[in-house]
């Protein structure tokens, strides 16, 4: 699914379309930061050859970071990482097993040699922010947009009505 007309820089891959409701939050946040991305549903277990084709061709098409999301026996981020030298961010999808503890452990417990940067269970937004921060290392304009996002977030807390007293000078 192409999300932008310009070449995608972040490749999001989910183990199933059933993961899309969680991962659409990453697509939305990357859009707000003006980072082109694309999202696919490719199970590492059900369609490994297609996954290898996707990962193998991604860098030539402009992808610089992967976000891989899966639930249960969530091998997808590790398998993606095994096939690329680009950074891979793993998102554990919530499940019925202790809220997604199975997904979390499957993704975070990577044996040494092949890293996956794992965010919280259901942490689609942080995955998007981390991907943007990686791209911002070589993109000053994106760095500025990320700083503006942070500043707005801080301001919205400072301006919350419950904090009115704290805003007054001592």
Q: Which residues contact 90 (CB under 8 A, 6 or more apart)?
A: 67, 68, 69, 70, 74, 76, 77, 78, 107, 108, 116, 117, 118, 119, 127
Residues 125 to 154: which contact ligand AIR by CB under 6 A?
Answer: none
Q: Does 18 bind ligand AIR (CB under 6 A)?
A: yes
- 33/71 with CB nearer ligand AIR: 71
Q: Is residue 145 exposed (0-12), middle (13-18) or buried (19+ Cβ within 10 Å)?
A: middle
Residue with tokens 């805003």: 167
- 14/135 with CB nearer ligand AIR: 14
Binding segment (CB under 6 A) for ligand AIR, from list 37-45, 113-121, 134-142, 145-153: 37-45
- 63/106 with CB nearer ligand AIR: 106
DSSP state of 2: B
**Min CB(97)–ligand AIR separation in Å:** 11
**Min CB(94)–ligand AIR separation in Å:** 9
Residues 57 to 96: which contact ligand AIR by CB under 6 A?
Answer: 70-74, 93
Q: At how many degrees (to 10) do helices 140-158 and 124-136 cross? A: 140
**Pairing label, strands 37-41, 88-92:** unpaired
**Min CB(5)–ligand AIR separation in Å:** 28
Q: Does 26 bind ligand AIR (CB under 6 A)?
A: no
Q: Does 15 bind ligand AIR (CB under 6 A)?
A: yes
């Amino acid at each position: 699914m192409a999300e932008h007309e310009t070449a995608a820089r972040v490749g999001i891959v989910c183990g199933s379309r059933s993961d899309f409701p969680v991962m659409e939050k990453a697509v939305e946040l990357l859009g707000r930061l003006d980072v082109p991305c694309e999202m696919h549903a490719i199970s590492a277990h059900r369609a490994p050859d297609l996954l290898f084709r996707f990962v193998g061709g991604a860098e030539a098409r402009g992808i610089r970071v992967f976000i891989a999301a899966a639930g249960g026996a969530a091998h997808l981020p590790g398998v993606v990482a095994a096939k690329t030298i680009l950074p891979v961010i793993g998102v554990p999808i919530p499940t019925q097993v202790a809220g997604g503890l199975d997904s979390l452990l499957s993704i975070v417990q990577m044996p040494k040699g092949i890293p996956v940067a794992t965010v919280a269970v259901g942490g689609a937004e942080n995955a998007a922010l981390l991907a943007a921060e990686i791209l911002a290392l070589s993109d000053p304009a994106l760095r500025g947009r990320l700083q503006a996002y942070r500043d707005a977030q801080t301001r919205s807390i400072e301006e919350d009505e419950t904090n009115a007293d704290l805003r007054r000078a001592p």
